[in-house]
């Protein structure tokens, strides 16, 4: 099953052949087709947070700048979320420890 090899003109939006360098309708030169960047890269910021986000962005920034930026944003947001969860976990843990301590343990 062959995929339809078409893209849309960056100027007029006409559906043109994926290999076309110039739009058949308006004659505007097309930007080179960006290499597909796999969404699997999201695993990097997922596991390594902002550091993984920076790596994923750096590796893919030339191939797909928009998606590369998404990895970076995801890494940054994910870091904040994990940070909040971590702080909440510590707070809950401290509260749980201090409330379950037996009163007789105190002098
Ligand atoms: Zn066009």
User: pTM of the prediction?
Assistant: 0.57
pLDDT at position 58, please? Answer: 96
- How far is the C-alpha of 22 from the C-alpha of 72, rounded, in Å? 33
- How far is the C-alpha of 46 from the C-alpha of 79, rounded, in Å? 9
pLDDT in tens, 4-14: 688 899 899 99
**Mean of per-residue pLDDT scores for the chain:** 88
Mean pLDDT of the 88-107 span: 80
- The alpha carbon of 13 and the centre of ligand 1 are apart by a number of angstroms equal to 6
More confident residue, 99 or 72: 72
Mean pLDDT of the 39-65 span: 94
- The alpha carbon of 3 and the centre of ligand 1 are apart by a number of angstroms equal to 22
Nearest Cα residue to 28 out of 42, 41, 46, 14: 14
pLDDT at position 3, please? Answer: 64
- The alpha carbon of 70 and the centre of ligand 1 are apart by a number of angstroms equal to 28
- The alpha carbon of 23 and the centre of ligand 1 are apart by a number of angstroms equal to 5
């Amino acid at each position: 099953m062959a995929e339809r090899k078409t893209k849309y003109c960056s100027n007029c939006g006409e559906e043109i052949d994926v290999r076309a360098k110039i739009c058949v309708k308006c004659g505007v030169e097309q930007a080179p087709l960006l290499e597909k960047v796999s969404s699997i890269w999201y695993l990097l910021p997922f596991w390594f947070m902002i550091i993984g986000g920076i790596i994923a962005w750096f590796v893919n920034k030339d191939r797909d700048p928009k998606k590369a930026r998404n990895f970076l944003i995801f890494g940054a947001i994910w870091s904040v979320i994990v940070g909040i969860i971590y702080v909440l976990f510590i707070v809950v843990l401290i509260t749980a420890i201090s409330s379950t301590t037996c009163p007789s343990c105190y002098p």
